[in-house]
Amino acid sequence: MFKKLSCLVVFVLVFVMVAGCDSPTSGNMEAVRAEAFGSSDTYAEYCRKMDDGGASAYTLSKEIWEIGKAELDAVRAQATAEAATPNVWYKVSGSKGALEASLTIQTPDGTSQQDVRLPWQQNYTFKPSSFIYLSAQNKRASGCIKVEIFARGKLLKEVESCGAYVIATASDTFR
């Protein structure tokens, strides 16, 4: 993050310094330029190099802009990839005869209901502060059913119910 911010700062400083070479208000920026270039003599030499009708200044500014844009695009791509990575896992298992369940789950798109064979699991990508919910009803006259919710790889909630047609429900807020 610091690298990306520093690139933007360099771009702004170079733009201000290039624009200020022949500017009547350039005296106000002398301290900033001296600090950036090490001395006012170095800055004067830089201005002489830039005295080619602005072509070098334009090229330098464009190069810095392209570097900054490429870094920004990389940050956006990484954020998009992270946002697309599943961060919540629902898991339902059965024992002692519980082989099927009726599920009600909260997905990023809303509530969903389905009948499944056990064991069952599914992952989703939720935004922070989203409500997460998993409920499973045993479809058999005996057995135990367990629901588990994992957030970012860690067990968040676990509930088990045993008996005929019992329901196990777990919910929380994704953080």
- Note whether 93 and 79 are same-domain residues: no
> Whole-prediction pTM value?
0.55
Which residue segment(s) compose the domain that 37 sits in? 2-84
Q: With a cut of 60, say whether residue 116 has pLDDT above it.
A: yes
Please say which residue of 64, 84, 104 terminates a domain. 84
Distance CA 8, CA 68 (A): 6
Contact by Cβ (8 Å): 161, 167: yes
User: Could you report the per-residue pLDDT of 19-76, keeping only the tens digit for each?
Assistant: 554 444 445 555 555 555 555 555 556 556 555 555 566 566 666 767 777 777 777 7
Of the candidates 87, 99, 89, the one whose C-alpha atom is nearest the C-alpha of residue 157 is 89
Alpha helices, H only, the chain? 2-19, 30-37, 40-50, 55-84
User: Could you report the per-residue pLDDT of 51-65, keeping only the tens digit for each?
Assistant: 555 556 656 666 676
| DSSP state string for 70-116 | HHHHHHHHHHHHHHHS--EEEEEEEETT--EEEEEEEETTEEEEEEE
- Note whether 67 and 93 are same-domain residues: no
Q: For residue 35, what are its two tokens?
A: 């600090």
- Note whether 107 and 40 are same-domain residues: no
Q: What is the pLDDT of residue 123?
A: 94
Please say which residue of 84, 115, 150 terminates a domain. 84
Lowest mean pLDDT among 70-79, 91-100, 111-120: 70-79
Domains in the chain: how many in total?
2
Position 20, amino acid: G
Distance CA 60, CA 143 (A): 72
According to DSSP, residue 128 is labeled T
Please say which residue of 38, 61, 84 terminates a domain. 84
